[in-house]
Structure 1
Amino acid sequence: MAKVQFYLTIKDGLEDLLGYIDDDLTEEMKTRMITCLNAAESFVQGSVGPDDGNFYQKNGVKNLYTVACNSYAATLFTYASTISVRRVNNVDDVCRSIIGQLRGKYDAKDDEVNNDGTEHQSDISNGVN
């Protein structure tokens, strides 16, 4: 399994999305936000594909990645759940939609033509090039 790279901080939109300002945040809340954001980045990267060192930071990808991660992190933060017999919260529609867009961009990246004219494709299911 590929190692997850964490790119975002809670200052990249999560605080604003949740409606918090610095004066309102306790250390406990900041820690919980960071944990939710890390979980969201792991989820999004796991759903799209392993990072090749710069995919999630490319123009046209970074904004989608940030919105998807913040959306899912906000869901995790707002609807924190424990093990129970109640209904489990599903991934929100915004995150799911953006993951679909990111998968398309990821697939397009893997179908690019190499400099020598040969087609480069990778097996996304296991992350092997």
Structure 2
Amino acid sequence: MTTFLTVDDEFKRTLGYLPDDDLLDSQSLQRMESALTAAEIYVQGAIGEENEDFYKDEKILPLYKLACYAIGANWFSHPSTAVSSITAKAIIGQLRGSYDENEVNEDGSTSKS
């Protein structure tokens, strides 16, 4: 399983921080990185781990990022009580359908056959 999202300005804003916020110390940045990495592992585990390129597809990436950001932000903000959000679960369900569709070969067989 490969994680490729990084803590960028977009993720910081999702968490309510400005990119150069004085409150962002190295410990906070490390917590952000850990939460985002864990979210990616969770999302890929829930959808499928066989095809890593699927998540980088230009049609899939925005939904993938949204699901990871929703979960990562929740885990960052509520580390001891967080669960996956309803939004993230709905997106994961949608991505599962796309992932399964992507795994079907031209002859109708699946790549796992």
Confirm or deny a common fold (TM above 0.5).
yes
AA at the equivalent of 1:75: N
CA deviation profile, 1:78-102 (whole Å, cap 9, x unmatched) = 1011xxxxxx532101110100010
1:103 and 2:100 are equivalent in the alignment: no
Residue 69 (structure 1) aligned with residue 58 (structure 2): no
User: What aligned pairs does 1:31-110 form with structure 2 within 5 A after superposition?
Assistant: 31-81=30-80, 88-110=81-103
Q: 1:119 aligns with which of 87, 108, 113?
A: 108
Q: Larger deviation: 36-45 or 9-18?
A: 9-18
CA drift of 1:12 comes to 6.1
- SS of the equivalent of 2:55 reads helix
Contact 2:47 2:99 in 1 (8 A): yes
Please name the residue that 1:23 is paired with: 21
RMSD: 1.6
Residue 7 (structure 1) aligned with residue 7 (structure 2): no
Return the alpha-carbon distance in structure 1 between the equivalents of residues 35 and 52 of structure 2.
23
Task: Give 5+ residue unaligned stretches, structure 2.
Answer: none
Count residues with an aligned counterpart.
111
- How far residue 26 of structure 1 moved from its aligned partner, in angstroms, is 0.5
Contact 1:13 1:70 in 2 (8 A): no
* Distance 1:101-1:5 versus aligned 2 partners, 3 A rule: same
What CA deviation, in whole Å up to 9, does each residue of 1:41-97 have, x standing for no partner?
00000000014241000121000000000000000001011xxxxxx5321011101
The answer to whether the 8 A contact 2:48-2:99 is kept is yes
Task: Return the TM-score normalized by structure 2.
Answer: 0.89
